C-alpha cells in the first residue's frame, strides 16, 4: 500500500508538467487579506500545519467548538463539544454519544459505536485500533469547513444535529475550463521535550517522610523491595529512561491533486500521504488517501455527480503498561516496576521486537447524486451515498513480556452507513421582491455496526502467533484450535443496527433582501425508539432582518448589519438498540474482573438486564430545543467584521440511568426526564488594522465562546443524583461537569485538635471512622460532626467556561506570518497524577490497575511540597481524589501555531507567464509555549473526567518546512 502510493505520487510529479503543457491556464488568485467568517474555516490557511485530525484543525478556529485531546498521540481518540455537552460524562461511552455529526459533501460520517465497552473490563480505549476516524480527512482536499450550530440550518439534518449542530465539510470542486495540478508537501521534526526524571533515591526520600512520621513497625516491614536496596543499580542508578522513550522524530506530508474538465464534464483526483508522529514511545500514524470526484451534465439542467474517497490509517500506538494489561484483561505481579535506568528499560523495550501490534483503519465513502433543474423554479435532487470504515487490530505479546504468558488477539470491526435522500424544491420570485422557496424531502439512513473479537492466552511458544484451526473436516477435532488451549480462547461477536427515516417540509419567504421567514417541519422515525413511539415530529422557525438594507442603506460606516433568529427542535437518537425493546432479557452472569461471562455449565444464561439497567415501556424520544440569535456586522469599509451569537440550547426528556430496585436485583433503571441547558455566546471578530495602502497588513481575529451549563431537571423529579460510583453529583441548578469534592482545610496535627460535638461529645468522624492526628481537616459543611457525602461541594468545571483562539496574520510583500493562540478560561483540572503518587500506600502490593507504575512514574511534574503530609495508612483514605486538595486552575494560553509563508509568485523576478501559477514555501512551528497556573503537566491533556492522570503523550513541539505549488 505504502509503496504503491509512493510510486503513484512520484509518477504524478514526473508527468504533471507535461499534463499542464499547452493548456489554458488561469492565474490563481491569492487574496492579499484572507478573511475568515465566524463559523467557517478555510483550510488554505491551515493546510500548512501538520495536523493529524480534523479535531486539531478545528481547535481554536471557530467559536463554540471545544476540542478535548486526552493525549498528543497521533490518531488517538479525541472528543469535541459544540456549545457544551448536554450529556453528563459518566462512563467513556457517553463521550461517543455526545459527538456532533460531521457531514462530508452530504455524507453524514458514521463513527465507532461504544458497544465494545460492554465486554471490556477497563474502559480506557475502544477495542480494536481505536483510531480517530476523523483523522482520515485530508485538509488539502477541503474547500471549506462550516460549523453549523444554528438550528435554522442545522435542523435540516434532524437528529444528526442533536449534539449542538453539524460540521459540514465541502471538498474542493473540480476546476472548469482548464487543468490544475496542485502539490503540497512538507517535512519536519518533532522535538523531544525535557523531563525531570527521578529514581528510587528520590522516591525513597519522598516516602520516608511518611514512614518517619506515621509508620508502625508492622507497616515498616512491607516496604517495597525496589526502594529497599539502595545498591540496586536498576532502581538507584541514573534515571535516563527518557533517552529511549523520547526521540526527535521526523514527520512529513505529501499531497497532489489533478483537476480538469469542461462545464459539461469535469473531475478532480487527489492523493496524499502523511506521517504524523509523537516524540514519545515511538508512536506515529500514516495516512494514505485517494479521492476522485466527477460531475457530468449530459443534458441541460441535469447533473450527475459522484465522489469516492478511500483512506487507510496505520497507527503505531504507545505502549502503556495499563493499555497492555487492559487489552489482556490480566495483570502480572506488580511488585517491581520498570526500572528508570536506560540499560534495564532497553531490555524491556527489546522484548517488543518479538511482538506485533498492527492497527489499521480503512475508510471508504462516496455518493452518487442526480440533480434535475426544471426551468428556474423546480429543483429535484436525489443522493445516494455510503460511508464504510473498518478497524483491524492484530496483536501479539510475547511470553517474555509477561511472566511467560503470551497473548494473541484479533479484532475486526466495521461501521457501515447507507443513506438515500430525495428533495424537491420550488423557487420563485414575484415582482423581484417576494421570494418563496418550498422544499419537501425524504431521507433514509441505515447503520450497521459489527465486530468480531477473539483473544487467547498462553500459546505454546512465541513463534506461533496465529490461532490455527484443524482444517480436516473428516476428523473430530475439525475447527478446534491446533496449538492454543481451547479453554483459553475467548471469542466475541456483537452487532448493532439502527435506521432513521425522515421526512421534512420547509417553506421560506423573503422580502426584498430585507426580511425573511422560514418554517420547517420534520418527522423522524428511529428504529431504536419503542414501536409506539417511533416517530417524532419537530418544527423549526427562523426570522431574519437585514437592518443595513432596511434602514441604513446610506450609512457608510456600517457596511452590513443583519439580525437572524431561529428556534428549533430536533430529536436525539437513542444510543443503543436495546431501548427499542422495552423490558428485556440479556446475559448478566459477569462479575468483578470477569466482564464476559455469558454461560454457566456450558449453557447460555439469560435473565433480566440487572446490571446494565431496566428499560421499561414508555421510553420516549429525547429532544433538543435551541434559540439562536445572531447579529453579523461589517464596519468601517469592511475592515472590522463581527459575528455574535447568543444561544439557549436545552435538551429535554433525556435518558438517564437512575439507581433503582436493588431489592429486585437492578442497578439502575433508564428513565426520561433529564433536562440540561447550555446557554452562551459565540463571538468572532476579525479586523484589518492597517490602512489598505500599507505594504504591511495585520489581520487579527479572535473567537470566543462563553458557555454556561445548567442541569434543569432529573428523572422522577429528583433533586440530585450521584453517579459514576459516587464520584460525581448531578444536582439540579448546577452544571453537569462539576467536580464533587470535600474541601481541604489543612491537617489535624494532634488528636486534641479534632473537634468534638458540644452536646454528645462525639468526635468528628469520616462516615463513622473517627478522625485521628495525621488525617485531613475537611470542612464539615453542614456542621453535623460527620464528614460524609453531604459535606462534598460542587466546584469548578471540567469543560471551560470560556474558550477560543486568537489568530494573527501579518502580510508583507509575499510574506505571510501566522501566529495562533489557543486559550481556555474557567476550567479546573484534577491533578490525579500527583494524588496517586501521594496515595502510594494503597497502590502497593496489589494486583490491580491502581498499582501499575508506568515508566513515566520516574518523572516529576509539579510541586510536591505544597501538599500536607497526611497519614497515608489512614482508613479515611487521606489522599483520596474527591477533595479539592488536588483541584487546580486549568486555564491556559498556548502559542499553538507559528508559520511563515513566502509566496514566490509575488517576487519581482518571478516569470508571471510561466507554467507555474502558484509557488509558496513555508515553515511552521507548533506547540511553542503554554502559560498556565497549573502546576502539573500540560493542562490541556486530561481525560473526560477532567483528570490529569499522566496517561498522555505530550503535545510536542513540531517544526516543518514545506512547499505548495500550483500548475
What is the CA angle 19-23-29, rounded to 5? 105
934 in contact with another protein (CB under 8 A): no
926: β partners: 897, 958
Determine which residue in the list 106, 193, 332, 700 makes contact with another protein, applying CB under 8 A. 332
Determine which residue in the list 461, 846, 907, 915 makes contact with another protein, applying CB under 8 A. 846
Pairing of strands 166-171, 101-104: parallel
Determine which residue in the list 212, 725, 758, 912 makes contact with another protein, applying CB under 8 A. 725
Closest CA to 728 of 792, 779, 667, 680: 792
Cβ 452 to another protein shortest distance, Å: 13
883 in contact with another protein (CB under 8 A): no
Enumerate residues 6+ apart whose C-beta is below 8 A from 405: 330, 332, 399, 457, 458
User: Which listed range, 71-79, 298-306, 538-546, 604-612, lies at the site for another protein (CB under 8 A)?
Assistant: 604-612
Cβ contact 686:640 at 8 Å: yes
Task: Kindly tell me which of 425 and 710 has the beta carbon lying closer to another protein.
Answer: 425
Residue whose grid cell is 527489546? 350
Determine which residue in the list 594, 638, 781, 782 makes contact with another protein, applying CB under 8 A. 594
Cβ 947 to another protein shortest distance, Å: 16
Burial 729-765 (b: 16+ CB within 10 A, else e): bbbbebbbbbbbbbbbeebbeeeeebeeeeeeeeebb
Cβ 663 to another protein shortest distance, Å: 5
Cβ 525 to another protein shortest distance, Å: 5
Question: Binding to another protein (CB under 8 A): which residues in 434-453?
Answer: 440, 442, 444
Closest CA to 934 of 889, 879, 887, 882: 889
Enumerate residues 6+ apart whose C-beta is below 8 A from 554: none
Question: Binding to another protein (CB under 8 A): which residues in 573-592?
Answer: 576-578, 580-592
Cβ 332 to another protein shortest distance, Å: 7
854 in contact with another protein (CB under 8 A): no
Question: Binding to another protein (CB under 8 A): which residues in 452-471?
Answer: 457-458
User: Which listed range, 12-20, 89-97, 767-775, 907-915, lies at the site for another protein (CB under 8 A)?
Assistant: 767-775
94 in contact with another protein (CB under 8 A): no
Task: Kindly tell me which of 616 and 933 has the beta carbon lying closer to another protein.
Answer: 616
Residue whose grid cell is 510536591? 864
Task: Kindly tell me which of 588 and 791 has the beta carbon lying closer to another protein.
Answer: 588
Cβ contact 128:66 at 8 Å: no
Cβ 229 to another protein shortest distance, Å: 14
Cβ 813 to another protein shortest distance, Å: 58
Cβ 10 to another protein shortest distance, Å: 47
Rama region for 553: left / alpha / beta (φ>0; ψ in -120 to 50; rest): alpha
Biggest CA-to-CA distance, the chain: 100
774 in contact with another protein (CB under 8 A): no
Task: Kindly tell me which of 550 and 667 has the beta carbon lying closer to another protein.
Answer: 667
Determine which residue in the list 660, 698, 821, 910 makes contact with another protein, applying CB under 8 A. 660
Burial class for 464, CB neighbours closer than 10 Å (0-12, 13-18, 19+):
middle
Cβ contact 271:12 at 8 Å: yes
Determine which residue in the list 205, 333, 532, 784 makes contact with another protein, applying CB under 8 A. 333
User: Which listed range, 194-202, 688-696, 775-783, 845-853, lies at the site for another protein (CB under 8 A)?
Assistant: 845-853
Task: Kindly tell me which of 352 and 492 has the beta carbon lying closer to another protein.
Answer: 492
Residue whose grid cell is 478522625? 771
330 in contact with another protein (CB under 8 A): yes
User: Which listed range, 41-49, 275-283, 346-354, 605-613, lies at the site for another protein (CB under 8 A)?
Assistant: 605-613
Task: Kindly tell me which of 532 and 745 has the beta carbon lying closer to another protein.
Answer: 532
Closest CA to 296 of 265, 325, 324: 265
607 in contact with another protein (CB under 8 A): yes
539 in contact with another protein (CB under 8 A): no
875 in contact with another protein (CB under 8 A): yes
Rama region for 737: left / alpha / beta (φ>0; ψ in -120 to 50; rest): alpha
Question: Binding to another protein (CB under 8 A): which residues in 234-253?
Answer: none
595 in contact with another protein (CB under 8 A): no
Measure Cα distances from 390 to 310, 410, 660, 714 in Å. 12, 13, 38, 38
Question: Binding to another protein (CB under 8 A): which residues in 823-842?
Answer: 841-842
682 in contact with another protein (CB under 8 A): no
Q: How far apart are CA 878 and CA 891, in angstroms?
A: 27
What is the CA angle 566-572-575, rounded to 5? 160
Cβ contact 930:938 at 8 Å: yes
Determine which residue in the list 2, 228, 264, 497 makes contact with another protein, applying CB under 8 A. 497
How many residues bind another protein (CB under 8 A)? The answer is 103
Cβ 482 to another protein shortest distance, Å: 17
Measure Cα distances from 625 to 164, 502, 541, 571, 801 in Å. 10, 18, 11, 9, 21
Cβ 916 to another protein shortest distance, Å: 50
549 in contact with another protein (CB under 8 A): no
Question: Binding to another protein (CB under 8 A): which residues in 142-171?
Answer: none
Q: How far apart are CA 908 and CA 891, in angstroms?
A: 46
Determine which residue in the list 10, 209, 248, 404 makes contact with another protein, applying CB under 8 A. 404
Q: How far apart are CA 545 and CA 808, in angstroms?
A: 32
**Grid cell at residue 650:** 436545552
Cβ 760 to another protein shortest distance, Å: 13
Q: Residue 219, SS3?
A: helix
Number of Cβ within 10 Å of residue 93's Cβ equals 19
Measure Cα distances from 413 to 319, 334, 338, 360 in Å. 22, 32, 33, 11
Cβ contact 927:957 at 8 Å: yes
Report the half-sphere exposure of 952 (CA within 13 A, side-chain side): 26
First-to-final CA distance of the chain: 27
User: Which listed range, 88-96, 624-632, 719-727, 746-754, lies at the site for another protein (CB under 8 A)?
Assistant: 719-727
379 in contact with another protein (CB under 8 A): no
**Grid cell at residue 468:** 490455527
Q: How far apart are CA 307 and CA 35, in angstroms?
A: 29
User: Which listed range, 50-58, 490-498, 742-750, 952-960, lies at the site for another protein (CB under 8 A)?
Assistant: 490-498
Cβ 788 to another protein shortest distance, Å: 9
782 in contact with another protein (CB under 8 A): no
Task: Kindly tell me which of 177 and 661 has the beta carbon lying closer to another protein.
Answer: 661
418 in contact with another protein (CB under 8 A): no
Task: Kindly tell me which of 537 and 929 has the beta carbon lying closer to another protein.
Answer: 537
Task: Kindly tell me which of 605 and 783 has the beta carbon lying closer to another protein.
Answer: 605
The radius of gyration of the chain from alpha carbons, rounded to an integer in Å, stands at 30
Question: Binding to another protein (CB under 8 A): which residues in 69-88?
Answer: none
30 in contact with another protein (CB under 8 A): no
616 in contact with another protein (CB under 8 A): yes
Binding mask 106-135 for another protein (x = CB under 8 A): ---------x--x-----------------
Question: Binding to another protein (CB under 8 A): which residues in 195-224?
Answer: 222
Q: How far apart are CA 362 and CA 359, in angstroms?
A: 10
Cβ contact 184:255 at 8 Å: yes
664 in contact with another protein (CB under 8 A): yes
Cβ contact 930:867 at 8 Å: no
Amino acid at each position: 500500500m505504502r509503496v504503491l502510493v509512493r510510486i503513484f505520487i512520484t509518477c504524478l510529479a514526473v508527468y504533471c508538467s507535461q499534463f499542464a503543457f499547452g493548456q489554458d491556464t488561469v492565474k490563481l488568485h491569492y487574496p492579499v487579506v484572507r478573511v475568515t467568517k465566524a463559523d467557517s474555516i478555510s483550510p488554505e490557511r491551515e493546510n500548512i500545519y501538520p495536523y493529524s485530525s480534523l479535531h486539531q484543525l478545528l481547535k481554536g478556529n471557530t467559536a463554540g467548538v471545544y476540542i478535548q485531546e486526552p493525549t498528543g498521540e497521533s490518531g488517538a481518540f479525541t472528543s469535541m463539544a459544540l456549545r457544551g455537552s448536554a450529556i453528563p460524562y459518566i462512563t467513556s461511552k457517553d463521550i461517543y454519544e455526545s459527538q456532533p455529526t460531521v457531514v462530508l459533501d452530504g455524507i453524514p460520517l458514521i463513527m465507532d459505536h461504544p458497544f465494545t465497552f460492554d465486554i471490556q473490563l477497563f474502559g480506557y480505549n475502544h477495542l480494536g485500533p481505536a483510531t480517530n476516524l476523523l483523522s482520515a480527512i485530508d485538509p488539502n482536499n477541503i474547500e471549506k469547513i462550516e460549523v453549523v450550530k444554528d438550528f435554522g440550518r442545522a435542523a435540516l439534518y434532524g437528529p444528526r444535529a442533536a449534539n449542538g449542530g453539524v460540521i459540514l465539510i465541502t471538498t474542493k470542486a473540480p476546476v472548469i475550463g482548464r487543468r490544475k495540478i496542485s502539490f503540497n508537501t512538507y517535512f519536519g521534526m518533532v522535538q523531544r521535550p525535557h523531563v525531570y526524571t527521578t529514581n528510587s533515591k528520590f522516591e525513597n526520600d519522598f516516602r520516608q517522610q511518611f514512614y518517619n512520621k506515621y509508620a508502625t513497625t508492622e507497616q515498616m516491614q512491607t516496604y517495597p523491595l525496589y526502594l529497599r536496596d539502595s545498591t540496586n543499580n536498576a532502581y538507584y542508578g541514573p534515571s535516563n529512561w527518557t533517552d529511549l522513550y523520547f526521540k526527535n522524530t521526523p514527520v512529513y506530508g505529501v499531497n497532489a491533486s489533478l483537476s480538469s474538465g469542461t462545464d459539461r464534464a469535469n473531475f478532480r483526483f487527489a492523493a496524499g500521504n502523511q506521517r504524523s508522529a509523537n516524540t514519545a514511545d515511538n508512536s506515529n500514524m500514516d495516512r494514505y488517501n485517494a479521492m476522485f470526484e466527477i460531475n457530468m451534465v449530459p443534458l441541460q439542467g441535469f447533473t450527475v455527480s459522484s465522489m469516492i474517497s478511500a483512506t487507510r490509517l496505520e497507527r503505531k500506538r504507545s505502549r502503556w503498561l495499563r493499555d497492555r494489561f487492559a487489552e489482556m484483561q490480566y495483570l502480572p505481579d506488580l511488585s517491581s516496576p520498570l526500572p528508570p535506568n536506560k540499560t534495564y528499560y532497553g531490555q524491556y523495550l527489546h522484548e517488543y521486537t518479538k511482538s506485533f501490534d498492527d492497527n489499521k483503519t480503512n475508510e471508504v465513502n462516496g455518493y452518487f447524486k442526480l440533480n434535475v433543474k426544471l426551468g428556474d423554479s423546480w429543483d429535484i435532487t436525489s443522493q445516494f451515498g455510503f460511508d464504510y470504515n473498518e478497524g483491524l487490530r492484530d496483536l501479539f505479546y510475547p511470553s517474555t513480556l509477561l511472566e511467560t504468558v503470551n497473548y494473541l488477539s484479533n479484532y475486526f470491526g466495521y461501521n457501515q452507513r447507507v443513506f438515500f435522500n430525495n428533495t424537491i424544491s420550488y423557487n420563485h420570485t414575484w415582482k423581484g421582491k417576494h421570494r418563496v422557496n418550498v422544499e419537501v424531502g425524504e431521507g433514509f439512513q441505515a447503520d450497521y455496526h459489527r465486530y468480531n473479537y477473539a483473544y487467547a492466552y498462553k500459546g505454546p511458544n512465541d513463534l506461533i502467533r496465529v490461532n490455527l484451526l484443524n482444517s480436516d473436516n473428516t476428523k473430530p477435532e475439525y475447527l478446534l484450535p491446533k496449538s492454543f488451549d481451547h479453554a483459553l480462547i475467548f471469542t466475541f461477536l456483537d452487532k448493532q443496527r439502527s435506521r432513521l427515516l425522515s421526512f421534512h417540509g420547509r417553506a421560506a419567504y423573503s422580502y426584498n433582501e430585507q426580511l425573511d421567514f422560514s418554517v420547517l417541519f420534520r418527522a423522524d422515525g428511529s428504529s431504536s425508539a419503542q414501536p409506539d413511539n417511533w416517530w417524532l415530529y419537530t418544527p423549526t422557525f427562523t426570522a431574519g432582518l437585514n437592518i443595513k438594507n432596511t434602514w441604513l442603506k446610506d450609512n457608510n460606516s456600517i457596511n452590513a448589519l443583519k439580525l437572524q433568529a431561529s428556534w428549533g427542535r430536533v430529536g436525539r437518537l437513542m444510543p443503543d438498540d436495546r431501548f427499542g425493546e422495552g423490558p428485556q432479557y440479556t446475559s448478566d452472569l459477569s462479575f468483578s474482573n470477569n466482564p464476559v461471562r455469558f454461560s454457566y455449565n456450558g449453557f447460555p444464561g439469560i435473565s433480566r438486564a440487572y446490571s446494565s439497567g431496566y428499560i421499561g415501556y414508555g421510553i420516549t424520544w429525547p429532544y433538543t430545543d435551541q434559540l439562536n440569535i445572531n447579529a453579523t456586522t461589517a464596519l468601517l469599509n469592511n475592515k472590522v467584521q463581527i459575528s455574535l451569537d447568543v444561544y439557549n440550547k436545552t435538551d429535554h426528556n433525556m435518558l438517564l440511568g437512575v439507581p433503582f430496585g436493588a431489592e429486585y436485583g437492578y442497578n439502575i433503571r433508564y428513565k426520561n426526564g433529564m433536562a440540561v441547558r447550555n446557554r452562551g455566546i459565540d463571538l468572532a471578530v476579525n479586523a484589518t488594522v492597517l490602512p489598505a495602502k500599507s505594504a504591511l497588513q495585520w489581520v487579527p481575529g479572535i473567537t470566543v465562546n462563553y458557555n454556561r451549563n445548567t442541569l434543569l431537571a432529573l428523572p422522577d423529579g429528583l433533586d440530585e443524583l450521584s453517579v459514576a460510583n459516587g464520584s460525581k453529583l448531578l444536582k439540579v441548578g448546577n452544571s453537569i461537569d462539576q467536580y464533587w469534592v470535600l474541601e481541604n482545610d489543612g491537617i489535624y496535627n494532634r488528636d486534641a485538635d479534632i473537634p468534638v460535638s458540644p452536646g454528645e461529645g462525639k468526635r468528628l468522624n469520616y462516615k463513622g471512622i473517627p478522625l485521628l492526628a495525621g488525617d485531613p481537616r475537611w470542612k464539615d459543611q453542614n456542621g453535623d460532626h460527620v464528614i460524609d457525602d453531604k459535606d462534598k461541594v460542587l466546584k469548578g468545571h471540567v469543560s471551560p467556561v470560556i474558550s477560543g483562539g486568537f489568530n494573527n496574520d501579518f502580510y508583507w510583500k509575499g510574506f505571510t506570518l501566522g501566529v495562533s493562540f489557543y486559550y481556555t478560561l474557567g476550567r479546573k483540572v484534577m491533578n490525579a497524577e500527583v494524588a496517586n503518587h501521594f496515595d502510594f500506600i494503597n497502590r502497593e502490593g496489589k494486583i490491580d490497575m491502581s498499582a501499575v507504575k508506568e515508566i513515566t512514574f520516574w518523572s516529576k511534574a509539579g510541586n510536591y511540597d505544597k501538599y500536607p503530609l497526611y497519614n497515608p495508612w489512614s482508613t479515611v483514605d487521606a489522599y483520596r481524589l474527591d477533595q479539592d486538595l488536588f483541584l487546580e486552575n486549568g486555564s491556559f494560553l498556548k502559542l499553538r501555531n507559528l508559520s511563515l509563508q513566502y509566496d514566490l509568485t509575488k517576487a519581482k523576478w518571478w516569470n508571471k507567464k510561466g507554467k507555474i501559477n502558484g509557488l509558496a514555501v513555508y515553515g511552521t512551528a507548533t506547540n511553542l509555549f503554554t502559560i498556565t497556573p497549573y502546576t502539573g503537566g500540560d493542562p490541556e491533556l486530561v481525560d473526560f473526567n477532567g483528570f490529569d492522570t499522566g496517561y498522555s503523550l505530550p503535545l510536542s513541539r513540531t517544526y516543518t518546512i514545506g512547499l505548495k505549488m500550483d500548475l
